[in-house]
Each structure stands twice: as C-alpha cells, then as structure tokens.
Amino acid sequence: MTANPPSAELATPDPLLSVRDLSVRFDTAEGPVHAVDGVSFDLKAGEILGLVGESGCGKSTLARAILRLVEPRAGSISLAGSDITHLSRRQLRGVRRQVQMVFQDPYSSLAPRWTVAELLTEPLVIHGVGDRAERRRHVGDLLDKVGLPADAAQRYPHEFSGGQRQRLGIARALALDPRLVVLDEPVSALDVSVQAQILNLLVELQRQSDIAFLFISHDLSVVEYLSDRVAVMYLGQIVEIADRDSLWRHPSHPYTRALLQAIPGNPPPSADDALKIEGDLPSPIAPPPGCRFHTRCPYAEQRCRIDNPALRTVAPGHQAACHLMRLS
Amino acid sequence: MAFPDSLILSADGTGSHPRFALLRRLLRRPSALCGLVLMAAILAMAVLAHPLYPDDPLDMVAAPFLHPGTDAAFPLGSDMLGRDLAAGIFHGARISLLIGVVAALVSLVIGIGIGALSGYYGGRIDAGLMRLTELFQTIPPFLFSLAIVAILQPSIATITGAIGITAWPGLARLVRAEVLKLRHSELVEASISLGASDARIILLHILPNVLAPIVVSASILVASAILSESSLAFLGLGDPNVVSWGGMVGAGREVIRTDWYVATIPGIAILAAVLALNLLGDGLNDALNRKGQRR
Ligand SMILES: Nc1ncnc2c1ncn2[C@@H]1O[C@H](COP(=O)(O)OP(=O)(O)O)[C@@H](O)[C@H]1O
Ligand code: SF4
Ligand SMILES: [Mg+2]
C-alpha cells in the first residue's frame, strides 16, 4: 500500500477569493481619490473575513470592486482560481451567481413596488433557475432560512422593520446559493438589539453551509463577534490582517490597538499603552507620504514620514504594516 | 367609491397598494379634478362624433352665418359656408386627440429611449446622443414641424410625425438626468450584482422609478401637440380632408369682427383641451411628488 503524501495542492487549496494589489481611483473635480490602494488578501471557502476601518477608508469601494461594480485601476481579483478582473459584463453574469452582495440600506436596494415574492424570485428568473412552482417553494425556503414568516411573501418591503428588511436582503443574496457573500455594513443602520439578531442569523447561516462571508463594518466589536479572520483598513490600505484571536490578543499596528481600546469595556493593558486616535482621517485625494497613519500615530518617527511600511508577518497567519512592530 | 374596499387605503395613502393611493390623491385636488372632468368631456365628444354626426362635418348643411342658439338643429350655429360648427367641434376633438396622443407617443418613445440609453451607458454613447439632442434643440420645435409638414404635404400622418419627432429633446434630457441619479444607486447595483441584463435593469428597475416625471411630461406633450396641430391648421397646413379646430379658427379669422363666434367657439375648444391637460399634468406632478418624498 502506498501512502499518499498530502499533495501540495491539497494542503493549500486555491482560496475562494484572492485579491492582489487592488487599486481603485476615482477622478473627481478635486483630483484623483485613491480609495483603494494596493490591497491584497485571500478568503478561503467557508471563512468569514471581517473588514474594519473608519468611514471613508475605502471599504465599500473595495467591496464594489470585488463585485466588479467599479473598475479597478490596477491589481487582480480571482474567484476560485480564475481571474475575473477583466471579464466583460456579459461574461461576468455567470460569475455573479457565485458572489452576492448585501447592502447597508436594504430599503434602497429592494425595489419598493415589488412584493417580497417577486424580489426573491428575481435572481432565479435572471438565471433561469426552476419553474414557477419550484421558485415559489424556494421563496418559502428562503424566508424560513432567514427567520421570516411565510406570509411575508405577498407583502411589500416598506411593510417591514429595518431588521426584517435586512433579512430580506440576506434572503435575496442567498437565493442563488452563492459561495461568497459580501456584506457591506449590513447592521450599521440597525438598533443594537436588532444588530445582534442579524449577526446571530449570519453565524447560523454560515454554519449550515460552506458559504464564505466578507463582512464589512466600521465597528470592530461587530466584526470581532463573527469573523474568523479580521482585516483592518486605513486610508485605502490594509494595515493588519490576522486570525480573530490573534488580532484580539496581539494587535500589532498602533491603529488596530487604538480601535480595540475604543471598544467600551476594553481598557488598555497598561497606562503606557493607552492610545487615542485624534484628528480626522486625512483626505484620500492627497494621502500622507510614508506611512499613511503617521499624521495620527503617537509613535510616528522620521522614517514613518518617508517610507510606507509593507505588510510583514508577525506571527503565523498574522501580518501588519508598521515600522515599529513588536514581534510577538 | 367605485373601488373594492380592500383596495382603499388609509387616508394618507400609505396603504399597501400604491396605484390606488395615487388616484385618490389626484381626485382630492380641485384643479386636477377639473382637468380630469374637462378631459373626459372632450373624450366623450370624440367618441360621440360619429354616432351624433355621421355625415362629413365639412359638408354644407345649413344656411351660412347661423348664429349659435338661433336654430335648435345647429346649436353652435354655422360658418360662412353653412357647415355645422357643432359637428366640426365634435369631429375636431377626434383629430386633436388622435394627433395629440400619437405625436406624444412618438416623442415619448424617442425621448425615453435616448434619455435612458444616454444616462445608463454614459461615456461616448451619452456624448453622441446628447449632441443629437442639442442639434434638435437649436431649432424651435414648432418651426421645425412647420418646415417638415410644408415639405412633405400636410396629412394626418405627416403632421403627427412632424410634431412627434421635434418635441422629444426636453423629455430626453429629463429622463437622462433621472436615470443618471439612479445609475449608481444601490437599487441598480443590487440588480447588476444579481446578474441582471442591462435591458432588464433599465426596463424593470430604472424606468418605473422615473415614471412620475414621464407621466407628467406625457400630459404636457399631448397638450403641446394639440396646440401645434391647431397652429399648423390655422396657418393652412392642416390635413385638407379632415376638420380641425385650428383650421376652423383660421377660417373664422376673416369674419371675426362681424361673426365672432366662428373663430371663438373652436378657439375655446383648443383652450379647454390644453388647459385640461395642463391641470392634469400639474395635479399628477403634485400627487406623484408627494409619493416620491415618502420613498
Ligand atoms: N463614486 C465615487 N466618486 C468619487 N469618490 C468616491 C466615490 N465613491 C467613494 N469615493 C471616495 O472614496 C473614499 C472611500 O469611500 P468608501 O469606499 O465609501 O469608504 P467606506 O465604505 O469605508 O466608508 C471616500 O473618500 C469617498 O469619498
Ligand atoms: S509606521 Fe510609524 S506612523 Fe505608521 S503606524 Fe507604525 S509607528 Fe505609526
Ligand atoms: Mg461604506
């Protein structure tokens, strides 16, 4: 009997989503906005990657670039090993079955004059899935999956509360059984108590299948709650990416540490470590040279103003971009 | 009310069926109601023209210059050739409405098509289509249609076409602006990420949300088409085989000092139709915009 050594391919399967050096620039009257600037990360099948950062740091733009809703200026996006960066709109339509999106404001992404049944069957109609009876049954299944009553099917989006509407948005994103769902601030517009319900729903849905989530929020405590891995974004760049626990216990980037300390009931380990980020996010039109965080970083020194630190591995599966990184 | 109870909504129109809410809001506005009643009357005249006046309204059937009210058989009197003015008004309603509605439809199709493509695709398509629109806008639409009709010979088809093909640029710009607003909305991005085709997105997700300004423009387009047709006929560029309100005014113009009613009666008909459609357009604008705010 020949023991099969684990092949290299099996050991490191292609990530579901692979983003490399992705940049998105908007040309505006004030000048080019470097909304996303050289972002790279991988997302494995069945994984929840949290993406966190202040409002305006480029999270939505990154999400929209992954869905090819905005054209990247440079870099590549691969889905299950195949490059989708340059597919035409027509070619993309097949790919779209596998990647779906949930928006922050479910009301503005759900056609107001359509019934829930019409909204939830639309993805099936577009991709020619099932006949009428099958589609109707599918609507029932989807409503059940996201915890809405079956009689919701005949109602209109405005008849639902914010949390219920977000359940509708999630149900529609799940209609085609995608492999990846990008959720852009799906709970940011909701009351805290409702946020928890939606987060629990997402955790449960993810446990039932091997679906992967890219979960975006400006709130680290929300991201921390459900993510396997967390990426921290600052001014268009990822400054730290790590497994959730590793990030929580050993945050390496001063910005991550400040975000963690800003979570209520999460005091700094010692007074020396107390960190507070002051001032506004600099403009992405003229980002600071060197480390983009140096204008707000209490540890900034001369080289920070000249050299932009690259992401370096601090621990297995843990990378951060800071010149003064404390290796743990 | 004539609606089944289940479709009647709460007083502020926030019930579950938006279409009926709109009608109710419209009917609650006195000016819109006025427009609706006037329009219904003109429509009734058009429908009743043949049953009531089966003969050609251009026939001479009475003594000339019969003043209104002097002969019960000819309630609106007769003109200088002894043609029945009432028959002319009724048949004229048919022609005015026909040309008005069809010309407006032509403008709507062109205007919505160009506006939607321009706003949705942007870039070079937008630049090209907007150049075309500007070209059309440099010539006053009425003079443009006048020239077309004069060259092609007046007939119902050429008049309708000439009015329809010159009246769309304003609508195209309006639709383009509205589509542009929606182009990068979450509604459209959600559809794109579902994999919907461009046609599906434009027809099912964008245009229904632009319906309010389109409906309002449509009523104004019909009104201005009726006015243009009347003006063409007044200038002698009407279809010679059919009676037209504008043509009747034109004919009565020469005798306005002695027999004022010959020009005035069809003039009032034109005024009523144009006023009715403008009132309706205004009412729709108010009713639809309130709904827009709720969104
Ligand atoms: N369509 C656009 N045109 C110009 N600038 C944009 C556009 N979309 C986003 N931006 C700019 O890009 C930056 C990142 O925005 P966004 O991705 O929405 O950030 P976030 O989702 O993290 O709040 C912001 O400065 C924003 O103003
Ligand atoms: S590189 Fe310098 S400025 Fe940037 S985070 Fe590290 S210490 Fe602060
Ligand atoms: Mg955002």
A155 touching chain B per CB within 8 A: yes
Task: Report the top-level CATH class of B87-294.
Answer: mainly alpha
pLDDT tens digits, B170-207: 999 999 999 999 998 999 999 999 999 999 999 999 99
For residue B3, name the pLDDT band (cuts at 50, 70, 90).
Answer: very low
Joined tokens for residue A137: 């049954």
> How far does the CA of residue B200 sit from the closest CA of chain A (Å)?
9
DSSP string, A129-188: -S-HHHHHHHHHHHHHHTT--GGGGGS-GGGS-HHHHHHHHHHHHHTT--SEEEEESTTT
Q: Which of A93, A98, A105, A121 to mutate to test the interface with B (most CBs of B within 10 A)?
A: A93
Residues of chain B with pLDDT > 70: what percent?
A: 92
CB contact under 8 A, B190 and A105: no
Distance CA A115, CA A153 (A): 7
pLDDT given at position B19: 65
Nearest protein Cα to ligand 1, atom 16: A58
A102-144 pLDDT tens trace: 998 888 889 888 999 999 999 999 999 999 999 999 999 999 9
Q: Do B195 and A93 touch (CB under 8 A)?
A: yes
DSSP state of A36: E
Amino acid at B274: V
Parallel, antiparallel, or unpaired: how do β-strands A82-83 and A74-79 relate? antiparallel
| ipTM of the shown complex | 0.86
Return the amino acid letter for B21.
Answer: A
- Nearest chain B Cα distance for residue A100, angstroms: 6
Complete DSSP assignment for B44-77: HHHHHHHHH--S-TTSB-S-TT--TTS-TTSTT-
Scan for tokens 């579902």, then name that residue. B194
CA distance A96 to A91: 9
Q: Can you say whether the dihedral through the CA atoms of B115, B117, B122, B124 is positive or negative?
A: negative
- Note the pLDDT of residue B18: 60
For residue A12, what pLDDT is reported?
57
Determine whether the interchain pair A96/B197 forms a contact, defined as Cβ–Cβ distance below 8 Å.
Answer: no
The token pair that represents B39 in the structure block: 């329009």
Residues comprising chain A, all counted:
328
Domain ranges for chain A: 17-98+178-327, 107-177
pTM here is: 0.83
Instruction: Kindly determine whether residue A112 and residue B295, on different chains, have CB atoms separated by under 8 Å.
Output: yes
In this prediction, residue B10 carries a pLDDT of 36
Q: Which of A16, A1, A38 is nearest to A310 (CA)?
A: A38
Nearest-5° Cα angle at B202, B197 to B205: 100
Q: What is the pLDDT of residues B36-51, one digit of tens each?
A: 999 999 999 999 999 9
Q: Give the three-class secondary structure for B136.
A: helix
Q: Does the structure show a pLDDT above 60 at B5? A: no
Whole-angstrom distance, CA of residue B193 vs CA of residue B191 = 5
What is the model's pLDDT at position B122?
A: 93
**Domain segments of chain B as ranges:** 87-294
Rounded to a whole number, what is the distance in angstroms from the first to the last CA of chain B?
A: 27
Contact present, A318 and A247 (Cβ < 8 Å): yes
- Mutation test of the interface with chain B: which of A87, A126, A155, choosing the one with the most B Cβ atoms within 10 A? A126
> Which chain A residues have a beta carbon less than 8 Å from that of B198?
89
Whole-number pLDDT of residue A3: 46
Our CA dihedral for A86, A88, A91, A96, rounded to 10 degrees, sits at: 80
pLDDT digits (tens, 9 = 90+) for B220-256: 999 999 999 999 999 999 999 999 999 999 999 999 9
Return d(Cα A33, Cα B269) in angstroms, integer.
59
Superfamily of domain A17-98+178-327: P-loop containing nucleotide triphosphate hydrolases (3.40.50.300)
pLDDT tens digits for range B11-20 = 344 444 566 7
- Site of tokens 């048949």: B91
Closest CA to B207 of B98, B91, B109: B109
**Residues within 5 Å of ion ligand 3, judged at the Cβ atom:** A 60
The residue ranges of chain A whose pLDDT is under 50 are 1-11, 327-328
B67, pLDDT greater than 60? yes
Q: How far is the CA of B8 from the centre of ligand 3 (A)?
A: 40
Return the pLDDT at B292: 45
Per-residue pLDDT at A145 = 95
pLDDT tens per residue across span B133-164: 999 999 999 999 999 999 999 999 999 999 99
For residue B165 the two structure tokens come to 């093909």
Query: Least CB-CB distance to A96: which of B193, B200, B204?
Result: B193
pLDDT value of position A281: 85
Q: Distance, CA A61 to ligand 2 centroid (Å)?
A: 24
